[in-house]
Amino acid sequence: MKQIIITFKLLLLAVTFSFAQNTYNLYPANWWVGMKYNKLQIMINGTDVGKHSGFAINYPGITLTKVNKFQSKNYVILDVTISPAAKPGTIGIRSKSAEGKQVNFEFSLQPRRPGRGSVFANGATSSDLMYLIMPDRFSNGDPSNDRVPGMLDQTLRRDTVFNRHGGDLKGIENKLDYLSDLGVTALWLNPIIENDMHERTEHGYAFTNHYRVDRRLGGDWAYKQLIKAAHAKGLKVIQDAVYNHIGLQHFLFKDQPDSTWFHRWPKFTQTNYKDQVLFDPYAASEDKRIMSDGWFVTSMPDWDQSNPFVANFLIQHAVWTVEEYGIDGWRIDTYAYNDLAFMNRCNKALYDEYPKISIFGETWVHGVPNQSFFCENNYTIKYKSNLQATTDFQTLFYGIQPACNEKFGWTEGVNKLYTTTAQDFLYKDPMRQVIFLDNHDLPRFYSVVGEDTSKYKMAFSWMLTFRGIPQMYYGNEILMTGLTSPNDGYVRQDFPGGWEGDKADKFTTAGRTEKENKIFNYIKRLANFRKTSSAIKTGKLMQFLPIDGVYVYFRYDAKQTVMCIMNTNAEPKTIDLNRFMERIKGFQTAVDVAAGVEFRLEKNLQLMPVSNLVLELK
């Protein structure tokens, strides 16, 4: 009987401890020894924790330097320094409640993840082909998480583009062999962090808890499993970061520590979306403020990153994510709308900790000067960005789109691609620029070219052979279509075959049409050739002036020369190869990479209408 009573008391104690643990949340809940980022701010969130007193830490190598309290009594932030001598272990944090009861918190200090810069944090480079996936729309590997009890959005309707469809991280993991076979070497996933909002949560850009992977995607465990499996197959993983804003349901907005964490206006003020004011020497200060501090949309509160607590919260989360999950790089959403001084600080913290990590930012702007302002450039100006690269909207809007769709002219058609490329002198390293044809916010390129497969092949050939890091959007390889009108959901349709019971499984040869297989195989051949081509991956670029609608450029190094030709005309053309003797002198034959045919180089080369050639010179 005595033993039963003791057991019951122990059980009761465990339940009480568990209750206490669940009452308070620590952000972050763990860190690592040996980090350069060793001055940490630990946020404790819980009912009336701000009324606690006597906070103390007694752990070798850990110093509590300051206790920060706020207008909301539900927050405390502890300034903690972790010395190089600190060892892994569980750190006890003590405090006393307003009623005088002792309350203990636990913080885990762990050994660092092995393989930094080799196994993880390896960065996407010009040697990679990135594949962008919206997890909710790619493949449903675990139907049990389609709906999660307690989450605000309980929709699950695949017959509408507005609701969640059930795709998840397990579904992506199941298709890694498919992606690797296609020639993909890196995955960029639209945000995987929790978006516990009432509606339109499939895109993932309205975070509600930074330290939780969305459970409808499989949660933390599924994300770690996906990354582990991807790395085992030689695939890198790029995570989508959103520093500018959060979702209305984020706990830090619903219960704000004080009034300084978010940009406030007398009435709702949206950003003017005018990036020019940030570098315009004549710009009005108010226009700059609205650009940077205005909200993106009504449902996404805008962080005030000049608040040091906000800045530290976001930077710590970025560093924590790389170490916790083992990702390889970051794509940063809405880069131009952030506080740019904060962004430099955040980027530097990641570079210092992970020298090989890659970071590129979304800069949906117009003009190479505009775009290059936001990344490492060759300007001598007051603001100097340390962002490695951007998503290259310029080679898309003022390059490959007009090359495919406009008639050739002095400044029209493929001349725009040449002219835009000529402005690469503004970038510190144009090989880091991410080039693409479409993404989750843009019309699918197959629709942009009027479902013309000749134009489509020409564009893909350009993307897979040009300078920079190519990024393709899921479904490009099977001719998925879609326009952003009436809304962007139509460019985010499900990948056919990703759900049990789909009428066709386009992950397989048998499930694709003859036309789809031709495009799939074309992309696959070029992508896999790219994997072994030193000239394309890391070589130089030389372009020749377009003449009569024909554009020729070369990728080359000491080992290999690749000649790329685009005939943008609706009629055949003949080009005189003597014009390109600067690059082809000494070569006798060429291999048509797509066709696998070798032929002798003669004086003239015949080009089919609306066609392209990728020739490896021998």
- Could you give the C-alpha distances from 563 to 302, 422, 541, 559, 593, in angstroms and in order? 47, 18, 10, 14, 10
Catalytic residue among 275, 323, 362, 438: 362
Residue pair 329/336 in contact by the 8 Å Cβ criterion:
no
Number of H helices and E strands in the chain, helices first, is 17, 26
Angle among Cα 556, 560, 562 to the nearest 5 degrees reads: 60
How far apart (Å, rounded) are the C-alpha atoms in residues 156 and 416? 44
- HSE toward the beta carbon, residue 227, CA cutoff 13 A: 26
- Could you give the C-alpha distances from 300 to 246, 253, 296, 342, in angstroms and in order? 5, 10, 7, 19
Positive or negative, the CA dihedral 293, 296, 299, 305 is negative
Nearest to 544 by CA among 555, 558, 554: 554
How far apart (Å, rounded) are the C-alpha atoms in residues 549 and 546? 6
Tokens of 51: 């009324």
Catalytic residue among 240, 304, 333, 494: 333
How far apart (Å, rounded) are the C-alpha atoms in residues 228 and 119? 10
Spatial CB neighbours of 453, under 8 Å, sequence gap ≥ 6: 479, 515, 518, 519
Which amino acid, 6? I
Helix, strand, or coil (residue 505): coil
How far apart (Å, rounded) are the C-alpha atoms in residues 158 and 380? 51
Which amino acid, 451? E
Spatial CB neighbours of 7, under 8 Å, sequence gap ≥ 6: none
- Could you give the C-alpha distances from 283 to 274, 288, 291, 364, 587, in angstroms and in order? 11, 7, 11, 20, 54
Which amino acid, 389? A
Place of tokens 């309350």: 103
- 38 by Cβ neighbours in 10 Å (0-12 / 13-18 / 19+) ranks as middle
Beta-strand (E) ranges in 152-197?
Answer: 186-189, 193-194
Tokens of 388: 């490695």
H/E segment holding residue 75: strand 75-82
How far apart (Å, rounded) are the C-alpha atoms in residues 403 and 426? 22
Quick count: other Cβ atoms within 10 Å of Cβ 114?
9
Residue 362 known to be catalytic: yes
Tokens of 350: 């990641």
Residue 376 known to be catalytic: no
- Give yes or no for a cis peptide into 486 (omega within 30° of 0): yes
Place of tokens 């797509």: 594
Question: Which residues carry out catalysis?
Answer: 333, 362
